[in-house]
A and B are shown apart, each in its own frame.
Chain A
Amino acid sequence: MRAGTETRTWHGPLERLDEFRWQIPQSYDPGMRVPGLVFTDEHLLEDIKNDQSLQQVANVAHLPGIVKASMAMPDIHWGYGFPIGGVAAMDAKTGVISPGGVGYDINCGVRLVRTDLNEADVRPVLKQLVAALFNTVPCGVGMSGEIRVNRAEAANVMRQGARWVVGQGYGTAADLEHTESNGCLDGANPDAVSDRAVQRGADQLGTLGSGNHFLEVQVVDTVYDEVSAAACGVAVGQVTVMIHSGSRGFGYQICDDYLDVTGRAMQMAGISVPDRQLACAPISSSAGQAYLGAMRCAANYAWSNRQCLMHLARMAFERVFGKSWDALGMQLVYDVAHNIAKFETHQVNGGTQTLCVHRKGATRAFPPGHPETPAAYREIGQPVIIPGDMGRNSYLLVGTEQAMRETFGSCCHGAGRVMSRAQAVREARGRSIEDELATQGVVVMGRGRKGVAEEQPSAYKDVNDVVRVVDGAGLAKRVARMKPIGVMKG
């Protein structure tokens, strides 16, 4: 196949179920084991139809053991094998695990930190604050972290995740309570991780990375639900900090390694898929188990990384405001993964089933009262954090029973790109995105020459549109909206 560069408009069947739901019927392709279910609206659907992501939704429906539907969130876009913004749950006994269903950046995710500061406290020192963050938090290409780990410690990071980082003094037990899975997945197997992955991860703990990763200082501009906002400790005018990063080179290498391993396992198991990038292995196979063990190491590395990054951000705030982070009220609201596969129990067709839920660019959104929803949020549901672009907004939502019933407790993960990187750089020619954002009151610092141009707001869908769909469909409920005032890009 030589093509692939030009976009191909979707011509397959797409049945509208209601205002926010469209279905790709199973009859579209005889290999589909379940239908495709796309959460979107008419407006967002126009962009979605213009790439190959709907074909990818249909392709994922071919995977053995998939239950209910191959799902896509409104921020869906064309990925590798799986669409980005996809959810697929496989039966734990008969299903497959697919590295492509998790992605290169294993446990890429977002955390939201509240503060007691108001916009008026931060505005006068905003440039200084962004500079302090920029100097404290390593970011960009080839930058090493302050927090180095030797081989023995690396195994601790892989097994214990954020718990190990907190044990080193970089955070508190309360941080862990407010992290998905308490910042650690059981069943991590360092023996399943290649030396190359360990080498790529050795000096990247506590580094932000580049691309769409960021650290933002934000202000809450809207509260939709006073009770939930109060439980999360946020109110209009209050300053928050959002961190978006993942498992760095460590996770990228594990994905690469296991695309090969599962590709071979798939052939041996006689599984046929419509796209080589859907490489997968039966969960019960040795290849499947090895990937799961390695993926969990990367998930734990990512939680460690975001814990380190939050610690460094707290240190930068301490330096600028001359108070301890605790006195500044910098508590972690929540940390969520949006590239991960997890074993969870769900109700399917009236029965209880253990499933391997792949969330590739999708966020867990568990309801009030769920055992995995932290005590502080038991009444309101698990906080869901949805970052947008650097000019518009980001959101805090909470998970719902509707999501639990319909999407295995999942919702969207962000805005989703609409413009390629080259196109974004072309659009930015002769302009300074930094200056444009400055006139809107957003201070941006980026290390790369093209990084800020490539990540400009217009390169993304409007996160407000995306969130309106998940809120309208009942997959998560809006709690608060933030706007960026200080952005640090790798």
Chain B
Amino acid sequence: MNTQKPYEFFDHTADVGMRATAPTLGALCVALARGLTELVAEDSRLEARETRPIDLAAEDAPTLVLTWLQELLFWFSTDQFLPVAYELEDVTPTRLRGRVRGQRFDPARHVQGREVKAVTRHLLDVRQEHGQWSGQVIVDI
């Protein structure tokens, strides 16, 4: 585990915001996904037991990031799948493809975090500046 987290949380009255900066859009997607996983399962020790393909399209980078996080939340909501490793290729502002590895949440072994209701468009901001990608997103708890 690296001690330096690639994302940070910020306060929003009833909910939680996440923001991250990364050299590429793909790395930004991964950083925010790690934040989402921490919200749901804290520092649970997760293993890459299962691999899932992912292929998403969107109209722009903010929508792509939103769609990506919504997809991961959907996986968790329907069969408790939590990602731990990411093999993303070909991430452009309109397309994300690759594989996500992880495992299902086990209430007996894993730590329960918050129940994330939704990843919202509220204050959603994804941009590329000075060769860096940055993003912020608020999740409804």
Q: Once the chains are docked, how many angstroms separate the CA of A80 from the CA of B122?
A: 6
* Closest Cβ neighbor of B40 among chain A residues: A141
Cβ proximity bits B22-53 to A, threshold 8 Å, 1 near / 0 not: 00000000000000000011100000000000
Decide if A421 touches B118 in the complex (CB within 8 Å): no
**Given A200, A210, A277, which contacts B74 in the complex, CB threshold below 8 Å?**
A200
Determine how close the nearest CB of chain B comes to the CB of A369; give it in whole angstroms.
Answer: 36
Residues of A within 8 A of B74 (CB): 196, 199-200, 253
Interface residue tally for chain B (C-beta within 8 Å): 35
With beta carbons under 8 angstroms apart, the residue of A77, A140, A252, A276 that contacts B112 is A140
Q: Do A417 and B14 have beta carbons less than 8 Å apart?
A: yes
Residue-by-residue, is B108-123 near A (CB-CB < 8 Å gives 1, otherwise 0)?
Answer: 0001111101101111
Instruction: Say whether A210 contacts B115, CB under 8 Å.
Output: yes
Chain B residues in 8 Å Cβ range of A449: 42, 111-113
Kindly state whether residue A84 has any CB partner on chain B within 8 Å: yes
> Are A1 and B16 also in contact (CB < 8 A) when A140-B112, A143-B107, A421-B141 are?
no
- Interchain CA distance A104-B115 in the complex, whole Å: 13
The distance from the CB of B141 to the nearest CB of chain A, in whole angstroms, is 5
Please tell me the size bucket of the interface on A: 35 or more
Minimum distance in angstroms from A110 CB to a CB of chain B: 17
Interface segment out of the listed B76-84, B86-94, B95-103: B76-84
Most-contacted residue by chain A among B76, B121, B125 (CB, 10 A): B121
Q: In the bound complex, do residue A423 and residue B11 qualify as a contact, i.e. CB atoms below 8 Å apart?
A: yes
Contact of B9 among A196, A249, A422 (CB under 8 A): A422
- The CA-CA distance from A423 to B16 in the complex, in Å, is 11
- A448 contact set on B, CB distance < 8 A: 112-114
Beta-carbon contact of B140 and A104 below 8 Å: yes
A5 touches B70 (CB 8 A): no
Contact residues in A for B76 (Cβ distance below 8 Å): 142
Asked if A420 and B12 sit within 8 Å, CB to CB, the answer is yes
Residue of B nearest to A210 (CB): B115
Q: Tell me whether A422 and B114 are in contact in the complex, defined as CB-CB below 8 angstroms, given that A211-B141, A277-B122 are known contacts.
A: no
Provide the residues of chain B in CB contact with A79, threshold 8 Å: 14
- A252 touches which one: B13, B118, B136 (CB < 8 A)? B118
The reply to whether B115 and A211 form a contact with Cβ atoms under 8 Å apart is yes
Cβ contact of B113, chosen from A5, A104, A423, A450, cutoff 8 A: A450
Which residues of chain B are within 8 angstroms of A276 by Cβ–Cβ distance? 121
Instruction: Give chain A residues whose Cβ lies under 8 Å from the Cβ of B123.
Output: 1, 4
Q: Which residues of B contact A420 (CB under 8 A)?
A: 11-14, 16
Q: How far is the CB of A339 from chain B (nearest CB, A)?
A: 11
Complex Cα–Cα for A4 and B112 (A): 28
Nearest to A140 among chain B residues (CB) is B112
B55 at the interface (CB under 8 A from A): no
Q: In the complex the two chains form, is A421's CB within 8 Å of B16's CB? A: yes
Q: Which of A68-114 contact B (CB under 8 A)?
A: 77-81, 84, 104-105
Check B77–A200 contact: CB distance below 8 A.
yes
Asked if A104 meets B14 with Cβ closer than 8 Å, knowing A142-B80, A447-B112, the reply is: no
A387 to chain B, nearest CB (A): 14
Q: Is the CB of A142 within 8 A of B14?
A: no
Q: Do the beta carbons of B14 and A141 come within 8 Å of each other?
A: no
Is there an interface contact between A209 and B13, defined as CB atoms closer than 8 Å? no
Q: Does B60 contact A (CB under 8 A)?
A: no
Point out which of A51, A77, A211 has the most chain B C-beta atoms below 10 A from its C-beta: A211
* Contact status of A451 and B16, CB under 8 A, knowing A196-B74, A200-B77: no
Whether the pair B112, A5 counts as a contact (CB closer than 8 A) is no
B residues touching A (Cβ–Cβ < 8 Å)? 9-17, 40-42, 70, 74, 76-78, 80, 105, 107, 111-115, 117-118, 120-123, 125, 136, 140-141
Interface residues of A (CB under 8 A from B): 1-2, 4-5, 51, 77-81, 84, 104-105, 140-143, 196, 199-200, 202, 209-212, 249, 252-253, 255-256, 259, 276-277, 417, 420-423, 447-451, 454, 490
Q: List 10 A-B contacts (CB under 8 A).
A: A1-B125, A4-B12, A142-B105, A211-B115, A249-B117, A256-B70, A421-B141, A423-B11, A449-B42, A450-B113
Lowest 7 CB-CB distances: which A-B pairs, in order? A210-B115, A420-B11, A4-B123, A142-B80, A80-B122, A252-B117, A448-B112
